[in-house]
Amino acid sequence: MRAPVDHRNLKDTLYAAWADTAKALASPKRLELLEVLAQGERTVEVLAREAALTVNNTSSHLTVLKSARLVETRKQAQFVYYRIADQALFDVLLPLQALTRRRLREVDHLIRTYFEHRDALEPVDRAELRRRLKAGEVTLIDVRPAAEYNAGHIAGALSVPLQQLNARVGDLPRDRMVVAYCRGPYCVMAAEAVERVRKRGLDARRFADGLPGWRLAGYPVETGPGAAAAEPEDAASSRRRRRAS
């Protein structure tokens, strides 16, 4: 005969496990580290630079995340690389951001001021971006650092890191809308890119979801240099044509 289930013990065990996971997420810097890792695996040293932390502090935060089984590691030579352990983590982080915005007025005000008041047009959503990409109606630019692009990017996107945008915006086609994306809904690089592109007279909008939201929807993602490898040559050819004309 099966022993009776101790419901109280079952509940306590489950709630303790959920609380431990929530506790691992309850740090601004750990959330930032996870956002960076959502773009692709990184070493401790790179993560420390991105999050403006010391290597020791970064290691401490990563130890907490690894203990909660939210990140995993692999070793290559003398380097240890960290990565997101489960893509389902985005099912938690993205709704958490949305809930915080709905319930905290100061967060909503900050987002409206920085993103929406600067942008007269609504961001492109996933369905619209996918339709426009298939129809060849947009030039999609990934303004994250090249290493993040190589680790994973929306299929068909060009790598145009924000620090290179001013030099390369003249090579973007003027007969199509430019859509910029970066790390996620509240990544400032895409908003900055849209402002710069518009100042040069091109139609530009932001893809708010960034790579994590696109990936979460199951839409095509590529790795490696992809379009980025061919683009500089295309840009050079464009400049040569303009000089010749």
**SS3 for 186-233, per residue?**
CCHHHHHHHHHHHHCCCCEEEECCHHHHHHHCCCCEECCCCHHHHHHH
Question: Does residue 102 sit within a domain?
Answer: no
| Same structural domain, 141 and 240 | yes
| Same structural domain, 64 and 146 | no
* pLDDT above 60 (res 101): yes
Q: What phi, psi does 44 have (nearest 5°)?
A: -60, -40
Question: Does residue 114 sit within a domain?
Answer: no
Question: Does residue 111 sit within a domain?
Answer: no
Residue 59 structural domain: 7-86
Where residue 232 falls among pLDDT bands split at 50, 70, 90? very low
Where residue 121 falls among pLDDT bands split at 50, 70, 90? low
Q: What phi, psi does 101 have (nearest 5°)?
A: -65, -40
| Same structural domain, 130 and 60 | no
Which of 38, 64, 86 is the last residue in one of the domains? 86
Range in 17-21, 103-107, 111-115 the model is least confident about: 111-115
Report the CATH number that the domain containing residue 59 is assigned in CATH: 1.10.10.10
Question: Does residue 46 sit within a domain?
Answer: yes
| Same structural domain, 217 and 138 | yes
Q: Which residues touch 60 (CB under 8 Å, ≥6 apart)? A: none
| Same structural domain, 132 and 236 | yes
Which of 86, 110, 143 is the last residue in one of the domains? 86
| Beta strands per DSSP E along 77-145 | 79-84, 138-142
* Structure confidence by residue, pLDDT tens digits, 160-186: 999 999 999 999 999 999 999 999 888
pLDDT of residue 118: 67
Question: Does residue 116 sit within a domain?
Answer: no
| Same structural domain, 76 and 134 | no
Specify the number of domains making up the chain.
2
| Same structural domain, 204 and 133 | yes
What 3-state DSSP class applies to 235? helix
| Residue 43, token pair as written in the block | 């070493």
* Structure confidence by residue, pLDDT tens digits, 17-43: 999 999 999 999 999 999 999 998 999
| Same structural domain, 82 and 149 | no
Positions annotated as catalytic residues are: 182
Which of 35, 61, 86 is the last residue in one of the domains? 86
Question: Does residue 105 sit within a domain?
Answer: no
pLDDT of residue 186: 87
Q: Which of 228, 232, 219 is nearest to 147 (CA)?
A: 228
Where residue 245 falls among pLDDT bands split at 50, 70, 90? very low
Question: Does residue 152 sit within a domain?
Answer: yes
Question: Does residue 232 sit within a domain?
Answer: yes
